[in-house]
């Protein structure tokens, strides 16, 4: 089936149905009859596309339009709890899963830079001297690094961490407006900060303390930041290379999908903040604290892979269910 020809032939019908849906509360009798007729016609279009096209974006757009038309015709409204369930079972995980290669590349680059810089700092006394005096390094290694996690009440500290990390992730996603260009620099700053701390701790034989304190919450926290960075850069790349569809359509869809990630990461970072505020400074053995972090990380990745893969197989895009109908077209 020629998708471009199909879209060109039927888009006026889809646009008209979209207009009637928007004005459904003020339609006259003839327009109501027209709404029902167009709903049936577009449902047929959807069936044709599903059987003859491998374009998940077009399927998603028509599915959303048919669902909205059905709601307008029947007067039914989706319960809030169903929207909530759809968000966490479909929208958030499928966007994260679709960005998996960007996510993996971001993670690998961050880890590589962190390891290289940490080894450089740990093995070069001149670099250490340029960073701080020996007394300041001793203070950091013996007191400040560990004291950071216990100097505030646990609940208050967890709240502060959550707000800060959520803001960092939102900043990264917002940078997609600038084609994602500032995101590598933001990641570099974070990688350098982690690496310098690791290098200084390693230079004094305290690397076990470093990983014992940063791993419980850091696994999930950094994974969330990497995901935010990945979808932000992916959105920026969409502007540069939108593919066969119009740039505005792709950007609108990806922008809405990215906001799903932003909202989902608020919950992920809340969990990370709880771990950092309650588990990291606790009196639990190091293995137990790290184990909690590993379990949280594995649970999150398993959730994204399971629900994301399932939603992708169902040709979900992660876009909002009742998004404006923007059908693909050439150009």
- Sequence-separated (6 or more) residues with CB below 8 Å from residue 33: none
| CA distance readout (Å), 328 to 20, 55, 61, 331 | 21, 9, 9, 9
- What is the DSSP secondary-structure string of 105-151? HHHHHHHHHHHHHHHHHHH-HHHHHHH--HHHHHHIIIIIHHHTTTS
- Sequence-separated (6 or more) residues with CB below 8 Å from residue 18: 65, 324, 325
Joined together, the tokens standing for residue 40 give 């049936």
Beta carbons of 315 and 238 less than 8 angstroms apart = no
Could you tell me which of 188, 177, 172, 190 has the C-alpha nearest to residue 227? 172
Joined together, the tokens standing for residue 57 give 């974006």
Joined together, the tokens standing for residue 241 give 């290379």
Separation between Cα atoms, residue 301 and residue 96, nearest integer Å: 10
Helix axes 207-240 and 154-174, enclosed angle (nearest 10): 30
pTM: 0.69
Task: Report the alpha-carbon angle 310-314-317, nearest 5.
Answer: 95
- Give me the residue label for tokens 């932003």: 262
Q: Where are the domains of the chain?
A: 3-74, 80-314
Using the Cα atoms of residue 222, residue 227, residue 233 and residue 236 in order, give the sign of their dihedral. negative
Beta carbons of 244 and 4 less than 8 angstroms apart = no
pLDDT of the chain along its 331 residues, tens only? 677 788 888 889 988 988 888 887 777 878 888 888 888 888 888 888 877 665 677 777 888 888 888 887 776 455 566 777 888 898 899 989 999 999 999 999 999 999 999 999 999 999 999 988 888 888 888 887 777 766 655 555 455 655 666 666 667 667 766 767 788 888 898 899 889 989 999 998 988 888 988 899 889 989 998 998 888 888 777 777 767 666 666 666 666 777 778 888 888 988 988 888 888 888 889 999 999 999 999 999 999 999 999 998 988 876 554 444 443 333 3
């Amino acid at each position: 089936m020629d998708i471009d020809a199909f879209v060109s032939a039927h888009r006026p019908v889809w646009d008209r149905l979209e207009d009637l849906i928007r004005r459904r509360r003020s339609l006259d009798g003839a327009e109501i009859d027209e709404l029902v007729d167009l709903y049936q016609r577009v449902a047929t279009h959807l069936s044709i596309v599903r059987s003859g096209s491998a374009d998940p974006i077009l399927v998603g757009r028509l599915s959303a339009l048919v669902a909205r038309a059905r709601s307008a015709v029947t007067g039914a409204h989706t319960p809030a709890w169903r929207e909530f369930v759809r968000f966490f079972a479909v929208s958030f995980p499928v966007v994260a899963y679709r960005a998996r290669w960007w996510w993996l590349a971001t993670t690998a680059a961050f880890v590589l830079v962190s390891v290289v810089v940490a080894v450089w700092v740990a093995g070069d006394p001149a670099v250490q001297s340029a960073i701080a005096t020996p007394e300041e390094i001793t203070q950091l290694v013996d007191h400040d690094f560990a004291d950071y996690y216990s100097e505030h009440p646990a609940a208050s500290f967890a709240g502060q961490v959550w707000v800060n990390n959520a803001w960092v992730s939102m900043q990264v996603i917002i940078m997609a407006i600038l084609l994602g260009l500032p995101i590598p620099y933001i990641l570099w700053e974070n990688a350098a900060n982690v690496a310098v701390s690791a290098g200084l701790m390693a230079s004094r034989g305290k690397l076990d303390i470093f990983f014992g304190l940063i791993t419980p919450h850091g696994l999930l926290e950094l994974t969330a930041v990497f995901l935010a960075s990945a979808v932000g850069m992916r959105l920026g790349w969409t502007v540069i290379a939108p593919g066969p569809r119009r740039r505005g359509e792709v950007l609108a869809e990806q922008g809405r999908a990215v906001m799903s990630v932003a909202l989902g990461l608020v919950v992920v970072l809340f969990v990370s903040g709880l771990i950092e505020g309650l588990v990291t400074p606790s009196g639990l053995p190091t293995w137990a604290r790290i184990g909690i972090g590993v379990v949280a990380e594995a649970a999150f990745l398993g959730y994204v892979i399971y629900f994301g893969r399932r939603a992708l197989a169902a040709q979900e895009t992660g876009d909002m269910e009742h998004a404006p109908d923007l059908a693909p077209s050439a150009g």
